[in-house]
Amino acid sequence: MFDLDSIFAEGGVLARSFKDYRVRSQQLEMARTISDAIEKHEILVAEAGTGTGKTYAYLAPALLAGGKVIISTGTKTLQDQLFFRDIPAMREALKVPVTIAMLKGRANYVCHFHLERAKNEGRFMTRDDSVYLSKIEKFAKLSDSGDKSALSEVPENAGIWSYVTSTRENCLGQDCPQHKECFVMEARKRAQGADVVVVNHHLFFADVMLRDEGVAELLPASNTVIFDEAHQLPETASLFFGENLSTSQLLELAHDAHAEGMVSAKDFAQLPEGAAALEKAARDLRLVFPQDSVRLPLAGAQAAHGFADSLVETKTRLDALNKLLESQAERSPGLENCWQRGTQFAAQLKRWMDEENNGSVRWVEVFNRAMQLNATPLSIAEIFRKQIDDHTRAWIFTSATLAVKKDFSHYQSQMGLLDAATAFWDSPFDYENQAVLYSPQGMPEPNSRGYTEAVVAAALPVIRASGGRAFLLCTSLRAMREAHELLKEAFDKEGLEFPLLLQGEGTRTELLERFRRLGNAVLVASQSFWEGVDVRGAALSLVIIDKLPFSPPDDPVLAARIEKINQEGRNAFMEYQLPHAVITLKQGAGRLIRDETDRGVLMICDPRLLTKQYGKRIWQSLPPMKRTREVVDVEKFFEQRAV
């Protein structure tokens, strides 16, 4: 049996291997608890505050226990960090000869078949795409992995990637002429043979629920599954435990059917006509909605002029194309694949149109160029629990934000983990001396007209005192844009020379690099900067949060869940909305103090933190910072830092 005490001790294995290593009692306790859960094949839900070092706390027992381990992370960035840095470093320190592999969704790997077809078709959205195509072609010949993240010369969001990668629907599988060279299959083979496999939550649920040949095949052989950033699981699981069908998928089917027909059924003129008819119907369906970036409940979508007729027309054209594809399917694997996809889409569309309330909520999401029909389960607990009960092994769920005042019941009930063991460790940081929580006086109600103006007015003296070095995190894109404009005007008027950055002006990585490099910038951002962002040192000394992050009650899925809980005689606000807001707020607040030497101010502008009874529950869930309502205390705090 391995000795965790000597591994995490002063002068122990990790201290000798990592020059910045510091002994933290919380880290050792967490490692012991996880080791125990692995040994007994238990389910453990564990929160460890920022700075605990939870990655090493779960890696040490997982690597030493032996057997196959699956680690699922919240983002591809974290996945890369684990695979390229953390696991190799821990493997070296512990001297354990484990093999590791990384598995991503198929859209991350170049597809030889679609690359060849893209080259032959030459249909691209921009001039850049044709330049990028030749770079991708060279990369595909030289790369071992085919992972697009290794080709930095082509932006990750470049349109060309959709032409040269496959989807679950348009992959030809074993019928593909280049099946033997397939990067996806190669990645899966490596994962099958590895001791430790790193995936992300999206891939985990997509594969397990849809029984694709990836994680679903790995699970039976694994002894331990660890979910890092586990607070993201309820949302990700809801996405995959439901069903969705988008106009983009229908357009892609029409395009592929046309392309395959031109190669393998040139003499069948009806096929391109049928594909064109489906394409027109799908485009018209999207154009029913004049707005974009909106979620509509079923009733709201049905009230839109022309929606019902467009939906029926789309179904009619899809059925007609499927009949044509069926008659030609045996002429090529590509036509066979199109027919199978079309049949699957038709079944999904019929279910969505016919569905009575079977525990799911139907709703529509409208994007810039697409529209998606969704059916989302009101509860994922039972479905997820079935996945766990099917496989006896250790299941570890960990994050810095899972509990409300050390109570895990909200998370456990969401995920169907009511019988799981739970554990909580406070952050080792000295929040009382490192940070101040400031709640300004005289703020209006958050739903009042001039609220964002009041936020910026209250924030300005604090930004001056901190010398910039601030995040202003907003709960909506509209508030973000308004706050950015108001700050810009105020900086110009007062001659403040702090660089002002706005989410969307570049990728998140680019903006963070600029923020760190500038050293005194103010970044105005929304949801994507509330979590997974790590800026250490003085460059980030102030985090301003405009409102308590309650989800908008008109969100169709949330509205349906609230209604269901209230109909059962329970209190949806206290059971569901408040815990969710607390967990999100803890994520935002967690951006401030990232190591033992950081100092800073967390400014929460929302007066409900102090005026509402539930406000006490919220601030008791935050780290134990000194609290003040006086801006002068904040100014003194920053003056002391400067000394």
> Where residue 214 falls among pLDDT bands split at 50, 70, 90?
low
Query: What is the three-class DSSP state of 245?
Result: strand
Between 1 and 10, the more confident residue is 10
Within 329-438, residue ranges assigned H as helices are 333-354, 381-389, 409-415, 431-434
Give how far Cα 13 sits from Cα of 3, 54, 297, 380, 587, Å.
10, 17, 55, 41, 31
pLDDT score of 293:
83
Query: What is the three-class DSSP state of 196?
Result: strand
In tens, the pLDDT along 443-463 reads 999 999 999 999 999 999 999
Query: What's the full length of the chain, in residues?
Result: 643
Could you list the beta-strand ranges (E) of 380-492. 394-399, 421-425, 435-438, 470-473
In tens, the pLDDT along 473-502 reads 999 999 999 999 999 999 999 999 999 999
CB-based contact 196:101 (threshold 8 Å): yes
Q: Residue 356: which residues within 8 A CB-CB, separation 6 or more?
A: none
Torsion of CA 134, 138, 140, 144, to 10 degrees: -160
Please report how many Cα atoms fall inside a 13 Å half-sphere around the Cα of residue 213, on the Cβ side.
11
Q: Which CATH architecture has domain 245-374?
A: Orthogonal Bundle (1.10)
Distance between CA 22 and CA 375 in Å, rounded?
48
CB-based contact 42:394 (threshold 8 Å): yes
- For residue 292, pLDDT over 60 is answered with yes
- For residue 208, pLDDT over 80 is answered with no
CB-based contact 88:65 (threshold 8 Å): no
pLDDT score of 182:
94
Between 253 and 125, the more confident residue is 253
Q: Where are the CATH 1.10.275 domain residues in the chain?
A: 245-374
- For residue 213, pLDDT over 90 is answered with no
| Region of poorest pLDDT, from 129-138, 166-175, 255-264, 451-460 | 166-175
Mean pLDDT of 285-295: 92
Give how far Cα 544 sits from Cα of 438, 518, 540, 588, 611, Å.
9, 19, 11, 9, 19
- Give the H or E element holding residue 627: strand 626-628
The owner of tokens 């032409």 is 163
- For residue 441, pLDDT over 90 is answered with yes
Query: What is the three-class DSSP state of 224?
Result: strand
In CATH, what number does 431-642 get?
3.40.50.300
Mean pLDDT of 540-549: 97
pLDDT score of 520:
96
Distance between CA 188 and CA 186 in Å, rounded?
5
pLDDT score of 14:
95
> Where residue 357 falls among pLDDT bands split at 50, 70, 90?
low
- For residue 642, pLDDT over 70 is answered with no
Mean pLDDT of 500-512: 90
Q: Where are the CATH 3.40.50.300 domain residues in the chain?
A: 4-98+195-228+379-425, 431-642
Q: Is the dihedral of CA 64, 69, 75, 80 positive or negative?
A: positive
Tell which residue, 214, 215, 212, 130, has the closest CA to residue 164: 130
Q: Which pair of structure tokens corresponds to residue 372?
A: 């998606």
- For residue 125, pLDDT over 70 is answered with no
Per the DSSP assignment, residues forming a β-bridge with 423 are: 46
Q: Which pair of structure tokens corresponds to residue 276?
A: 């064109």
> Where residue 216 falls among pLDDT bands split at 50, 70, 90?
low
Mean pLDDT of 264-279: 95
- For residue 128, pLDDT over 80 is answered with yes
pLDDT score of 643:
44
Distance between CA 593 and CA 622 in Å, rounded?
12
Mean pLDDT of 511-515: 94
Q: Which CATH architecture has domain 4-98+195-228+379-425?
A: 3-Layer(aba) Sandwich (3.40)
Could you list the beta-strand ranges (E) of 190-339. 196-200, 222-227, 243-246, 294-297
Give how far Cα 438 sits from Cα of 343, 441, 503, 537, 628, Å.
58, 9, 24, 20, 5
- For residue 468, pLDDT over 70 is answered with yes
Report the first-to-last Cα separation within the chain, whole angstroms.
Answer: 51
- For residue 414, pLDDT over 90 is answered with yes
Distance between CA 469 and CA 486 in Å, rounded?
18
Between 204 and 487, the more confident residue is 487
Mean pLDDT of the chain: 92
Between 38 and 157, the more confident residue is 38
pTM summary value: 0.91
Mean pLDDT of 175-188: 91
pLDDT score of 429:
94
Q: Which pair of structure tokens corresponds to residue 80?
A: 């890369």
